[in-house]
Amino acid sequence: MDLGSIIGKLDGGGSDLADLLELLTNNKEQLAMLGRLPDYLEKIATGLAGAGEQAKSAAVSLVGDDGTSGLKGTLADSSDALAGIVTSIGNGAARIADAAEAAARVPLMDGPAARLASAAEEMSGATEQLGKLATAMDSIGDTLAQVGAALARLGDHLDDSGTQARGFAELG
Contacts of 154 (CB under 8 A, 6+ apart): 52, 55
Name the helix (H) or strand (E) containing 114: helix 110-171
Distance CA 122, CA 103 (A): 18
C-beta neighbour count of 21 within 10 angstroms:
11
Q: Higher pLDDT residue, 8 or 45?
A: 45
Q: Write down the pLDDT at residue 145.
A: 87
Query: Using one digit for the tens of pLDDT, what is the confidence trace for 49-89?
Result: 888 889 888 888 888 888 778 888 888 899 899 999 999 99
**Overall size of the chain counted in residues:** 172
Res. 95: pLDDT tops 90: yes
Distances (CA, A) of 32 to 15, 36, 91, 169, 170: 25, 7, 80, 16, 18
Fill in the amino acid letter for 124: S
Least confident of 30-44, 121-135, 139-153: 30-44
Contacts of 111 (CB under 8 A, 6+ apart): none
Distance CA 52, CA 72 (A): 21
| Contact yes or no for 16/5 (Cβ under 8 A) | yes
Q: How confident is the model at residue 91 (pLDDT cuts 50, 70, 90)?
A: very high
> Rounded to two decimals, what is the model's pTM?
0.63
CA 105 from centre of chain = 59
Cα angle 141, 126, 75 (rounded to 5 degrees) comes to: 15
| Contact yes or no for 144/63 (Cβ under 8 A) | yes
